[in-house]
Structure 1
Amino acid sequence: MAHEETQEKNGHTATVVEQGRFCLARCTCGWRGPARRARSRARTDAEEHTEAHTGEDAGEDAGEHPGDHIGEP
């Protein structure tokens, strides 16, 4: 299992992980993105997750929680 591209913002560290022919984004908060065939899409998932949590330190709720994306196409 290979790891690459760590994105870190506001304590969220999202990493793209390769599993066979698929890639997925994972975060230290427990969030996991869907399996993707395109590494670039997994990177985008990681970026979107970290961006969604940009306002967390200011007391804003980004509306995403671990597991929100599980099962999405």
Structure 2
Amino acid sequence: MKKLMIIEGMSCMHCVNHVKNALEELEGVKTATVDLQGKNAVVELKQEVEDKALKEAVEEAGYDVAEIKVI
């Protein structure tokens, strides 16, 4: 399963790496591909991960999540 996250507040590659690491530290996340220009992340999951957990990880890293949807 993959989820698309719309993320606001990223302005550089440091931000991208920060978001990527925050998401990939969550249990159940296989990979996270973060796109600075697109202001989004595609998260590939090994198992079900609640949207709330994904949102909290990004917000704790200092960014805002506008939307999460399954793709």
TM-score computed with the length of structure 2 as normaliser: 0.34
| Larger gyration radius, structure 1 or structure 2 | 1
Higher helix share: 2
TM-score computed with the length of structure 1 as normaliser: 0.34
